[in-house]
Amino acid sequence: MKHYILGIESSCDDTSAAVLENNNILANVIANQDIHKKYGGVVPELASRAHQQNIIPVVDTALKTAEITKDQLTAIAFTRGPGLLGSLLVGTSFAKSFALGLKIPLVDVDHLQAHILAHFIQNEDGSRDLPSFPFLCLTISGGHTQIVVIRNYFDMEIIGSTIDDAAGEAFDKAAKIMGLPYPGGPEIDKLAKQGNPNRFKFPKPKIQELDFSFSGLKTSFLYFVRDELKKNENFIEENKADLAASIQQTIVNILIEKLEKAAKQTGITEVAIAGGVSANSEMRTRLTESGKKLNWKVFIPEFQFTTDNAAMIAIAGYYKYLDGKYASQSDVPYARSKM
């Protein structure tokens, strides 16, 4: 039986709609909001307004790309949280009214669970290797850094998380200090390719167990750059690539060390990464290396499923739909994680 699931994602600054036929991807359309670039970060009110403008064209394009009509849809899945409330409201209200109009089930999805469940999206020829339960996932995004044990689609346990900044924030803040545009993660990734990662050393935080901390790293990076600028006002310009490579290596070292510790503690050998920072090339290389060294089966998401996208919302919605766990018209978005 064919189920067509429309996914809607609007939790932050990307408006996205996707269509799945069961677990197979048919369309994944993302409208980025360039408006935030000149402010050096996401401006919530501007994000909501841009979602309002983008949502209908994005859904329309997704249906056309998938070559189906709205009447063929089986269910509509939407991001209920966590995220910016004004942004979430746009996707939530759209999904509710569309489902009501089409008289089909509505399914609410948690954004963080969806980042992880993106690993279950199958490609058209069915050739992708999917994880089996239980597996570990390091979710690294602009708002979260978590190590999660996934026992089943919706049976997840967080065994480690950041006590302050997220990994993506560490990239973005370091980039901002260097005068790079937002979001800084991809900029640092690009620059780092030409740089020496061992040129500058930054202290690693001493945090208990499987938790993370990145705010101290940001401060030491800030003070280091500030002091060097006093000696040479062109310090950043002259050392851009080495600075990027060094801060990137430090962040990835912190992440990989805890992930290896988590795998050792749990005895789990299937290991995935998810979220925007899983697009980072150093992170991807190092995960592959850890996998070879420790005999893990590793799962690295396709680039289109790393940063925010609606395909991950649709796959999470598909499994929830199969379970009969529908949302109601009175469900409201939530800003903070419920995981």
Residue 169 beta carbon to ligand KG4: minimum distance, rounded to whole angstroms: 6
Residue 170 beta carbon to ligand KG4: minimum distance, rounded to whole angstroms: 8
Q: Which stretch binds ligand KG4 (CB under 6 A): 65-73, 204-212, 269-277, 328-336?
A: 269-277
Binding flag, residue 308, Zn ion (CB under 5 A): yes
314 binding partner (options ligand KG4, Zn ion, none; Cβ < 5 to 8 Å by kind): none
91 binding partner (options ligand KG4, Zn ion, none; Cβ < 5 to 8 Å by kind): none
Binding flag, residue 279, ligand KG4 (CB under 6 A): yes
Residue 308 beta carbon to ligand KG4: minimum distance, rounded to whole angstroms: 4
In the window 3-22, what residues touch ligand KG4 (CB under 6 A)? Answer: 12
Instruction: Identify which of residues 79 and 246 has a Cβ nearer to Zn ion in the complex.
Output: 79
Binding flag, residue 308, ligand KG4 (CB under 6 A): yes
197 binding partner (options Zn ion, ligand KG4, none; Cβ < 5 to 8 Å by kind): none
Q: Which of 307, 318, 320, 333 binds ligand KG4 (CB under 6 A)?
A: 307
Neighbours of 22 (CB within 10 A): 14
172 binding partner (options Zn ion, ligand KG4, none; Cβ < 5 to 8 Å by kind): ligand KG4
Binding flag, residue 168, ligand KG4 (CB under 6 A): yes
Question: CA-to-CA distance for 289 and 293, rounded, in angstroms?
Answer: 6
User: Among all chains, which residue has been given the structure tokens 């089943």?
Assistant: 152
Binding flag, residue 41, ligand KG4 (CB under 6 A): no
Binding flag, residue 143, ligand KG4 (CB under 6 A): yes
Question: CA-to-CA distance for 210 and 257, rounded, in angstroms?
Answer: 9
Binding flag, residue 141, Zn ion (CB under 5 A): yes
Q: Which of 9, 110, 165, 189 binds ligand KG4 (CB under 6 A)?
A: 189
Binding flag, residue 280, ligand KG4 (CB under 6 A): yes
Binding flag, residue 184, ligand KG4 (CB under 6 A): yes
Secondary structure, 3-state, the chain? CCCEEEEEECCCCEEEEEEEECCEEEEEEEEECHHHHHHCCCCHHHHHHHHHHHHHHHHHHHHHHHCCCHHHCCEEEEEEECCCHHHHHHHHHHHHHHHHHHCCCEEEEEHHHHHHHHHHCECCCCCCCCCCCCEEEEEECCCCEEEEEEEECCEEEEEEEECCCCHHHHHHHHHHHCCCCCCHHHHHHHHHCCCCCCCCCCCCCCCCCCCECCHHHHHHHHHHHHHHHHHCCCHHHHHHHHHHHHHHHHHHHHHHHHHHHHHHHHCCCEEEEECHHHHCHHHHHHHHHHHHHHCCEEECCCHHHCCCCCHHHHHHHHHHHHCCCCCCCCCCCCCCCCC
333 binding partner (options ligand KG4, Zn ion, none; Cβ < 5 to 8 Å by kind): none
Instruction: Identify which of residues 81 and 291 has a Cβ nearer to ligand KG4 in the complex.
Output: 81
| Binding-site ranges for Zn ion (CB under 5 A) | 141, 308
- Which residues in this chain contact ligand KG4 in the complex, by CB under 6 A? 12, 141-143, 168, 171-172, 183-186, 189, 275-277, 279-280, 307-308
